[in-house]
């Protein structure tokens, strides 16, 4: 799903935050790293605007790497509190900067530590470790290194995900990590993709209607897990060949349609977005594709798009109406409300449900660091058709291409990349 090329372009563009202090205790290290990252700007620039002062990037890089080395050491500490603090620091560090070169030679050590935390840690530690797994895959990219890490960690991520006795927060984090790691790192033999899709499916089908057509009652907190598993599954559906998509549409569309009656607003929204994404995939395969019970589906969507139920929170009603208006317009007219994501002097345009799910998946993992990674991470730049990272200087700023040209380039590159990927995946149709 992407290149494993070096991220040194992004890694070298660091702005110094808080200088490291010698003699800090292990317990204080996490807060120091948190302080360091929270004080660094997302918009990296070698020269500080307005002052012309050249920042000592090499020193900043070395200081930060020293802190991260200590955090990696702390993953092996006997104290669960110390391990948890180290995982939180790594989460923030990995989401904030591109660290390919630094992580390349430490990936086995980190993967071993993450596997140990997933196998032996408590629920909170498992949840934190799963999140760092996803970030490690995003850092290493879709090359051999990322594949190695995913093959090592997939079994334990899947095991926790499907374990009904595991903590909900750990299962939810594993659902998100499994989707992201598989999307980035799954190899061409289809086995990892199929297994991951199957495990995610086994979780959210717990929300599907029973034999008599009624929706099951679920425990508190479970709908959030169902939503996360469904969203990760939808992300992986974008990798499937046409033969698999047809099977998915026939089996899942009627059941997802029924789930629009769920009492959980966020799960309903995840279901609605997934229905739109599956329809988009169906239309990619066959321009004439139409869900067989389309009239009833549109009636359900209209009800949700105009829902005035006073028992629901005002913000929930507003969010639901907005999302389901979009879904309805797409199902009826193939209309999609385009969204522009600006970062630095560049932008990507979210102009379809598949593209939105992919962007949202990275945003859920990277959080506020997503724009930095769009600027400097070769994996994200490959996925969104952005080309090599730009060098931010006056000459580049002076030669900006027009908004229309950027839009056409982004859309064309994304579609070309998707077609190429699906062409590769189609070779595996016989085993799907």
**141 secondary structure, DSSP code:** T
Q: Examine the pLDDT at 52 and tell me if it is beyond 70.
A: no
What is the average per-residue pLDDT within 398-418? 51
32-46, 231-245, 353-367: least confidently modelled range = 32-46
Q: Which residue bears the tokens 């229309």?
A: 404
* Tokens read off for 389: 């990272």
Q: Examine the pLDDT at 379 and tell me if it is beyond 70.
A: yes
pLDDT band at 318 (very low <50, low <70, confident <90, very high): confident
CA distance 357 to 191: 23
CA distance 153 to 147: 10
Q: Examine the pLDDT at 420 and tell me if it is beyond 90.
A: no
What is the Cβ-side half-sphere exposure of residue 105, based on CA atoms within 13 angstroms? 4
If phi > 0 it is left, if psi is from -120 to 50 it is alpha, else beta; for residue 16 that is: beta
* Tokens read off for 94: 């990995």
What is the average per-residue pLDDT within 18-31? 44
Read off the pLDDT of residues 90-145 as tens digits, 9 standing for 90 and up: 999 999 989 999 999 999 999 999 999 999 999 999 999 999 999 999 999 988 88
What is the average per-residue pLDDT within 7-12? 32
Contact 59, 18 (CB under 8 A): no
pLDDT of residue 84: 97
Beta bridge partners of 347: 342
Read off the pLDDT of residues 208-234 as tens digits, 9 standing for 90 and up: 999 998 999 999 999 999 999 999 999
Contact 160, 130 (CB under 8 A): yes
What is the average per-residue pLDDT within 18-43? 44
């Amino acid at each position: 799903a992407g290149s494993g090329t070096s991220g040194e372009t992004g890694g070298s563009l660091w702005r110094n935050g808080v200088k490291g202090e010698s003699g800090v205790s292990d317990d204080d290290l996490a807060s120091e790293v948190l302080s360091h990252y929270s004080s660094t700007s997302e918009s990296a620039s070698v020269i500080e605007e307005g002052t012309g002062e050249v920042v000592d990037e090499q020193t900043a890089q070395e200081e930060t790497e020293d802190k991260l080395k200590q955090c990696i050491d702390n993953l092996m500490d006997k104290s669960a509190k110390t391990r948890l603090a180290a995982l939180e620091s790594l989460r923030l560090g990995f989401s904030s900067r591109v660290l390919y070169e630094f992580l390349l030679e430490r990936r086995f050590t980190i993967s071993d530590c993450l596997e140990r935390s997933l196998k032996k840690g408590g629920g909170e530690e498992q949840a934190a470790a799963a999140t760092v797994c996803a970030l490690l895959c995003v850092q290493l990219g879709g090359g051999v290194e990322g594949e190695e890490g995913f093959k090592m960690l997939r079994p334990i991520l899947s095991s926790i995900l499907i374990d009904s006795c595991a903590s909900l927060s750990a299962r939810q984090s594993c659902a998100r990590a499994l989707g992201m790691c598989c999307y980035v790192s799954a190899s061409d033999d289809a086995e990892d993709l199929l297994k991951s899709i199957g495990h995610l499916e086994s979780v959210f089908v717990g929300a599907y209607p029973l034999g008599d057509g009624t929706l099951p009652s679920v425990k508190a907190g479970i709908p959030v897990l169902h939503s996360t598993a469904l969203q990760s599954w939808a992300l992986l559906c974008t990798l499937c060949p046409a033969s698999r998509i047809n099977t998915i549409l026939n089996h899942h569309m009627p059941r997802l349609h029924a789930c629009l009656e769920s009492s959980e607003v966020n799960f309903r929204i995840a279901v609605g977005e997934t229905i739109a994404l599956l329809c988009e995939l169906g239309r990619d395969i066959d321009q004439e594709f139409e869900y067989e019970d389309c009239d009833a589906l549109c009636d359900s969507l209209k009800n949700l798009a105009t829902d005035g139920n006073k028992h629901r929170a005002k913000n929930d009603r507003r969010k639901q109406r907005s999302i389901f208006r979009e879904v309805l317009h797409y199902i009826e007219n193939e209309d999609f409300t385009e969204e522009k994501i600006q970062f630095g002097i560049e932008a990507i345009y979210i102009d379809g449900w598949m593209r939105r799910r992919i962007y949202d998946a990275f945003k859920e993992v990277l959080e506020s660091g997503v724009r930095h990674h769009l600027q400097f991470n070769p994996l994200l730049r490959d996925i969104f058709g952005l080309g090599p990272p730009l060098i931010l200087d006056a000459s580049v700023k002076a030669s900006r291409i027009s908004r229309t040209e950027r839009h056409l380039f982004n859309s064309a590159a994304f579609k070309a990349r998707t077609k190429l990927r699906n062409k590769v995946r189609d070779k595996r149709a016989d085993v799907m």
